[in-house]
Amino acid sequence: MAPSLLVSASQILVVAGRGGRRRRLVIANSGGAGTPPKLVTFLGKGGSGKTTAAAIAAQYYASEGLKTCLVIQSQDPTAEQLMGCKIGSSLTECAANLSTIKLETCKMLLEPLDRLKKVDAQSNLTQGVLEGIVGEELGVLPGMDSICSVLSLQKLLNFFSVGTNSPQGEFDVVVYDCNNTEEFLRLTGATERARSYLKYVRELAEKTDIGRLASPSLLKLIYDAARPNGRTGEVRMSAEIWNEIEQLLEKISLWFTDPSKLACFLVMDPRGSISVSSALRYWGCTIQAGAQICGAFGYAEDPSEMHQGVAEKFLPLSFSSLPFLPTDSSADWGRALNSLNQNTKGLLRNTSKVYPSVSFDSAQKSVTLFMPGFDKSEIKLYQYRGGSELLIEAGDQRRVIKLPPAMQGKVGGAKFVDRNLVVTIR
């Protein structure tokens, strides 16, 4: 059963905003308390308050005794103003249990290049060409921000080593103030999509003359550079390296789809129809990317307004509250944290209860996909692989749904009802 809608006067927290105006921030909540997620981020339209929400979450986790890191990826000084401290490209302790860091790609480019140079110096694959590259001269190209941000988050969370005996990251919680919502959604689905590309690249490497000639050396260079300290002592066959990469991508993909590991929250202005529509669309896009939305934030001028109509649009999510913070001065964190209610704290601590996005009915041979934020005309349905899977295209994302063996077959029909795409299998 979907959680009930929770909107009450006790959940409307009000603080002074710009120009003395009083505003509130509302957050969707499923209740309960427990272990917090490892990575928390906030998604929404530009200017919707993602940085403010990230700062509140980071301060809350730190106040609970959790080692917390607030990661920003923007030159916008809003986070520094809110936190009351300078945020640089290296970890800086901002308060008890709370560190901050700013991701700057032009600096982050240097480390992977240095690792490649160290491995190449031992293998002499490029015959000194890599050694001649001056990293400080390299500019940032499109796509580099995303790649470098993943490598930086890996350092903090260690999700590349996801075994039961793997060492844990330095922090209990990492709050990531992503620079761009759509770019982050690309990242969450990147490992699953990369597995498809990897299959074709491996076929080129193993089944073509140029692949068999060049791929073993290139593969070993990249593999050794990615290992801790660039060690090259262990001899691995190409097939073993390919298999290890495939297994790693699968494990990371599962990490990003686990709401107890990655918690995504929406941010919106409930007074603006475009802001609300954007949040709804990002809800659907997040599901398409393979992750889950755990709650939704919204701002309002008048605390007596419940925005019941907006709340109903986000069912089965429910509304609770957080304080709005002015960004033109350092926040009063003692006051802000004291104003948090138990529903809000429970949501931030426990995000494992989410609405299932796919359900199978073997008796009716039907698949139901929850797709909020889209209408029927925006959804494309394809089928390949002999009827063993469905391909759903929506929100500039493609998602593969693998069918259970007992339900595999050709698509017999599809209909869109109440935010759900229902596909019947013959």
* pLDDT (0 to 100) of residue 61: 93
- Span 353-383, pLDDT tens digits: 677 899 999 888 999 999 999 999 999 999 8
Return d(Cα 403, Cα 405) in angstroms, integer: 6
Backbone CA torsion sign across 287, 25, 276, 4:
positive
Is 419 a residue whose pLDDT tops 80?
yes
CB distance 297 to 266 below 8 Å: yes
CA-based R_g, the chain, Å: 23
pLDDT surpasses 50 at 31:
no
Strand order in the sheet with 420-425: 358-361, 366-370, 420-425, 411-417
Q: Which of 240-249, 342-351, 386-395 has the highest mean pLDDT?
A: 386-395
**36 confidence band (pLDDT: 50, 70, 90):** low
Q: Check if the beta carbon of residue 336 is closer than 8 Å to that of residue 15.
A: yes
Model confidence at 112, in pLDDT bands (50, 70, 90)?
A: confident
Q: What residue spans define the domains of the chain? A: 34-160+167-354, 358-425
352 has pLDDT over 80: no
* pLDDT tens by residue, 244-279: 888 888 888 888 888 888 999 998 887 788 988 999
Three-class SS string for the chain? CCCCCCCCHHHCCCEECHHHCEEEEEEECCCCCCCCCCEEEEEECCCCCHHHHHHHHHHHHHHCCCCEEEEECCCCCHHHHHHCCCCCCCCEEEECCEEEEECCHHHHCHHHHHHHHHHHHHHCCCCCCHHHCCHHHCCCCCCHHHHHHHHHHHHHHCCCCCCCCCCCCCCCEEEEECCCHHHHHHHHHHHHHHHHHHHHHHHHHHHCHHHHHHHHHHHHHHHHHHCHHHCCCCCCCHHHHHHHHHHHHHHHHHHHHCCCCEEEEEEECCCCHHHHHHHHHHHHHHHHHCCCEEEEEEEECCCCCCCHHHHHHCCCCCEEEECCCCCCCCCCHHHHHHCCCHHHHHHHHCCCCCCCCEEEECCCCEEEEECCCCCHHHCEEECCHHHCEEEEEECCEEEEEECCHHHCCCEEEEEEECCEEEEEEC
- Look at residue 398 and tell me whether its pLDDT is greater than 70: yes
Write the pLDDT tens digit of every residue in 284-331: 999 999 898 988 877 765 444 546 788 788 888 856 666 777 767 777
- pLDDT level of residue 168 (50, 70, 90 thresholds): low
Lowest mean pLDDT among 6-15, 62-71, 114-123, 393-402: 6-15
Q: Which residue has the higher pLDDT, 293 or 166?
A: 293
Q: Is residue 25 over pLDDT 50? A: no
- Res. 167: pLDDT tops 80: no
% of residues, the chain, pLDDT over 70: 81
Cα–Cα distance between 374 and 86 in angstroms, integer?
41
pTM of structure: 0.82
- The band of 384, judged by pLDDT with boundaries at 50, 70 and 90, is confident
Return d(Cα 65, Cα 48) in angstroms, integer: 29
Pairwise pLDDT comparison (111 vs 22), residue with the higher score = 111
Answer yes or no: is pLDDT of 33 > 60: no
Kindly state the average pLDDT of the residues 109-120: 82
Output the pLDDT for position 312: 85
Report the chain's mean pLDDT, rounded to a whole number.
Answer: 80
Match domain 34-160+167-354 to its CATH number in 2.60.40.10, 3.40.50.150, 3.40.50.300, 3.40.640.10: 3.40.50.300
Q: Are 192 and 198 within 8 A, CB to CB? A: no
Of the options 3.30.1360.200, 2.60.40.790, 2.30.30.100, 3.40.50.300, the CATH number for the domain spanning 358-425:
2.60.40.790
Q: What is the per-residue pLDDT for 102?
A: 92
Name the percent of the chain lying above pLDDT 90. 23
At 321 the pLDDT is 65
> Which pLDDT does position 342 carry in this prediction?
76
